[in-house]
Amino acid sequence: MSEKCVFCEIAHGRIPSIRVYEDADFIAFMDINPISEGHLLLVTRGHYPKTTDVPDAILDKALTLAKKLAAATLLSVGREDFNLVVNNGPLAGQLVKHWHMHIIPRRSKDELPLKQGAPADLTRLPFVAERVRENLR
C-alpha cells in the first residue's frame, strides 16, 4: 500500500467515496469528476500501478466485473453505449497511479475526445508486428 495514494485511502475507507460495489479484490465507486452521468471507477483493492503489475488471478476477474457494472450503470442512466478505459502511465493520461478502469456511459462523441489515428506506415507495420510476436514467445 502506498501512503499517498488516494485510491488506497478510498479502498481502506480513510477517504469517503460513493461506492456501488465491493468484494475481496475490487471496489467500484462514482468518479468525482465524471465525464458523463454514471461514470464509475472499478479499482483494485491492492495497490498495483499499471495493468502489467496486476496479478493475473485478479486481472482475470476485472472484465467480467466491468461488464456487470456497465450493464447496471447503463440501465440506471438510460444509456446504451459506453467506454471501458484503462490509462497506464502518465503518457497515457493516468493521474492516479493505482489500477482502475473507467466505466463511462456515452451520450455524445464529444464527451471523450480521442484523437483519430493517422494511416499506418505500411513499411514499418509488419516489423512492429513481428517484434510483438517475438516478445510474446
How many whole angstroms separate alpha carbon 44 and alpha carbon 24? 9
Helices (H), strands (E): how many in the chain? Answer: 3, 5
Among 36, 51, 83, 87, binds ligand 5GP (CB under 6 A): 87
Give the nearest residue (CB) to Zn ion: 5
Distances in Å between the Cα of 108 and the Cα atoms of 11, 37, 73, 82, 86 are 31, 12, 17, 10, 20
For ligand 5GP, give the closer residue by CB, 95 or 122. Answer: 95
Print the binding letters for residues 40-59 with Zn ion: x by CB under 5 A, - otherwise. Answer: -------x------------
**Considering the complex, what minimum distance in angstroms separates the CB of residue 97 from Zn ion?**
7
Grid coordinates of 73: 450503470
User: Which one of 14, 57, 93, 123 is in contact with ligand 5GP (CB under 6 A)?
Assistant: 93
Nearest to 41 by CA among 13, 69, 79: 69
Residue 77 binds which entry of ligand 5GP, Zn ion, none, CB below 5-8 Å type-dependent: none
Task: Pick one of 3, 4, 33, 133: the residue that binds ligand 5GP (CB under 6 A).
Answer: 33
